[in-house]
Amino acid sequence: MTDAMSGTTTPSPPPVDPRTGPQTEMPVLERFRMDGRVVVVTGASSGLGAGFARALSSAGATVVLAARRKERLEALAEELRSRGALASTVACDVADPESCAAMVRAAMDEHGRIDVLVNNAGLGTAVPALKERPEQFRAVVDVNLNGVFWAAKECAAVMGPGSSIVNVASVLGLTAGFAPQAAYSATKAAVMGLTRDLASQWGSRRGIRVNSLAPGYFASEMTDEIPEKMLADITGKTIFGRLGRQAELDAALLFLASDAASFVTGTTLVVDGGMTMH
């Protein structure tokens, strides 16, 4: 199959028996392994993205770390290499389509393939809607929605059957937040819709799974800045009365990225400690 826009040729998924599916059996825990897979993680310089890169690397993946802050990427790459992992870095501003194209070219030049994209780069703001300036709103849309599309589009053009795209959304795309975040909430809801459409387009034609991950509030650099009163309100809305831990989100991310989720596409996996139950 040749992509009409990029000219890239990728194999079509092989025909399968509609009753039995592909005949590839493996022990269940091995389905979570990422050995031999090349994974691009955007927004990997800090926070959840850096955590995702560590988790994927520990599962055997070769990781391509992408973000605007190249120096922080290099530090993380050295950390992973010190553990015997394979990692490379590339500076990328996902709001710029050409930067996303250059990111994919760099990954292909270095590793020869891309099997998984973790679309994690994001921008959060808290501005009352009546005070939010057009340039502020557009900046969030450019990163959180447009950037997800540009990165997914460029990666999908070179991905083969069995590949996976995980778009990081948020529970704020599903429920009201605790601060005025119209732009952020709107973009995260839009990412879920985009995920469903791309899953429909690329599933049968290319064999690419596309899902979204919707975290609640997890301990990170961003939550460190939340005032104590608001933090109490947030944790009070969860069933467990606390913030989530990185490892709890890593497990969900690994599920969606790996063969463990080979029959899962077009869905949003919510990991929020029960917050959206209310």
Catalytic residue among 52, 149, 150, 184: 184
> Taking the mean position of all CA atoms in its chain, how far away is CA 102?
18
Lookup: tokens for 5: 């826009």
- Strand 116-119 to strand 268-271: parallel, antiparallel, or no bridges (unpaired)? unpaired
User: Quick check: is 217 catalytic?
Assistant: no
State the Cα–Cα distance between residues 125 and 47, nearest whole angstrom. 16
Q: Give all strands (DSSP E) within the chain, no chain letters.
A: 38-42, 62-67, 87-91, 116-119, 164-168, 209-215, 268-271
State the Cα–Cα distance between residues 131 and 41, nearest whole angstrom. 33
> Taking the mean position of all CA atoms in its chain, how far away is CA 5?
24
Catalytic residues: 184
